Structure 1
Amino acid sequence: MNLKELKEELSVKCKNGVAFLSSAVVVWAVMLMILVSKFTLETKNSLILWSTALLFPLAMAFSKLFKAQWKVDSNPLSILGFYLNIAQLVYYPIVVWAMIRRPEEMIIFLGIITSAHLFPYGWYYNTKVYMIMSIFMSVSILLIGLRTDVETLWIIPLFMISFLVILVVLLYKDYMRKERISKS
């Protein structure tokens, strides 16, 4: 198999990673509920940080629901997907810094990091959808974040949910197109 074929195999078998993105929609919905709660900002930020631990178990459940593989052992690029996922964790010190030094902006940092980390999946799954949406989401969250205050922080997860749902729909359409081509 050549490189393009390996990436296409991952795209089809993993369904462009829509299970992980669907999981992210749920996690961001939890964050939205936390931000509209009556807790203090410090408590909200701690709960938001802890809520990210739901991502992987939910992604496994969505993988079963969508009948998507989350890794393809026979594909040598599969391990790269794992590293791309882990890469987001390397950015968490920035989120922790924001939680301590800029608590009113932590959710903005998390939104931008989440959005930006999606960019390399465009190469990984051989689809420009990830690249375009990653840039659009990162810049949009920055611009929205510049206009929010402590009382309106809930708007960040609301936009992230919307962006992620759009991303899932676009990526699923891309997967369906690739699956049709691979069967013909």
Structure 2
Amino acid sequence: MNHTVDQARDNLIATAKKGYPILLGGAIVWLLMALIPFVFAKEIVHLIWIWGLMAIFPLGLVLGHVLKIDLFVKNNPLSELGAFTAAPQAFFIPVFIVVYMKIPEYLPFTIGLLGASHFLPYAWIYKSKAYLIMAIGMGLSSFIIGGYFIEYAFTFVPLAISLFFMAAIVKVIQELKKGISQGVSANEKSG
């Protein structure tokens, strides 16, 4: 299939619904992460932070399936770009392990900041201010809370991140509705 970049972006946006099932999975997992310090010992919480966050992507895929949203748009090169944009997070895992071994108190700072950085390209891919706002909000909250209020970081960093994910979901849905109404208006004008 031969697309211009704009056609590929529009196709990906329409089919994958700007990837909001992944955001929904993230909101759920980060909210659970905010609660785990009340249930588990600190050492277990540290390990859950490293390994538990890997649940976001599979949960997002399951939610996408339930919502009948195709997150793997075939014959669209930008779908592959989205996958390549997400893949570098695997290289973050050794960093998280070293932080866990040396200074585990900084896991919320490190995971939040590095996780936030990978969302920036999605602002362009999905033509979405929601991803930009989320990346900046997630990064700043991880930096401020995780860097300066360390004793509260394992509760308040994931709570803040979950709230940014939820706000991004609301914004993405608004963007999708606006895009649909603009598409209808454009079709009415041409017809």
2:163 match = 162
1:31 match = 33
Residue 151 of structure 1, CA deviation: 4.9
Q: Distance in 2 between matches of 1:149 and 1:135?
A: 20
Equivalenced residues, count = 183
* SS, match of residue 155 in structure 1: helix
1:75 match = 76
- Give % identity: 24
Q: Which amino acid aligns with 1:3?
A: V
Q: Which amino acid aligns with 1:78?
A: S
RMSD (Å), alpha carbons? 1.7
Residue 152 of structure 1, CA deviation: 5.0
Task: Please list, as runs of the form range in 1=range in 2, the aligned pairs for 1:128-139 lying within 5 A after superposition.
Answer: 128-139=129-140
Q: Distance in 2 between matches of 1:181 and 1:67?
A: 23
Q: Distance in 2 between matches of 1:73 and 1:171?
A: 22
Does structure 2 conserve the Cα–Cα contact (< 8 Å) formed by 1:130 and 1:167?
yes
Q: Distance in 2 between matches of 1:111 and 1:165?
A: 16
1:12 match = 14
* SS, match of residue 19 in structure 2: helix
Say whether 1:126 aligns with 2:130.
Answer: no
Q: Distance in 1 between matches of 2:69 and 2:40?
A: 38
What is the CA deviation profile of residues 57-97 of structure 1, one whole-angstrom value per residue up to 9, with x for unaligned ones?
21122102332111110212211111112122222222112
Residue 37 of structure 1, CA deviation: 2.3
Structure 1 residue runs of 5 or longer lacking an equivalent are: none
Does structure 1 conserve the Cα–Cα contact (< 8 Å) formed by 2:49 and 2:107?
no
Structure 2 residue runs of 5 or longer lacking an equivalent are: none
1:22 match = 24
Q: Distance in 2 between matches of 1:160 and 1:18?
A: 15
- TM-score, L = length of structure 1: 0.90
* SS, match of residue 88 in structure 2: helix
Does structure 1 conserve the Cα–Cα contact (< 8 Å) formed by 2:119 and 2:131?
yes
- Greater relative contact order (Cα < 8 A, sep 6+): 1
Residue 36 of structure 1, CA deviation: 2.3
Larger radius of gyration: 2
Q: Distance in 2 between matches of 1:136 and 1:83?
A: 23
